[in-house]
Amino acid sequence: MRQARRQLVTTVDGNKTAACSVTVTGDETPTPVASDYDIGNLKQFTGIVSAVTITPKNGKSTGAVSNIKYAGNTTIPQTVGTYAVTFDVAAATGWNAATNLSAGNLIISDVIFTAVADSTLGNSSFNIRAIACGNGKFVAVGRNGKMAVSTDGETWTAVDTGTIFDYVYNGTTYKYSIYSIAYGNGKFVAGSDWGKMAYWVDN
CB 145 within 8 A of CB 192: yes
Edge-to-edge strands of the sheet including 178-184?
178-184, 187-192, 197-201
pLDDT for the residue numbered 11: 53
Question: Which mean pLDDT values do the consecutive 10-residue runs of the chain (203 residues) have?
Answer: 48 54 66 98 93 97 97 96 98 97 96 68 70 94 89 87 92 93 94 90 78
pLDDT for the residue numbered 155: 85
Q: How many CB atoms lie within 10 A of CB 48?
A: 9
Compute CA 8 distance to the chain's CA centroid, rounded to the nearest angstrom: 57
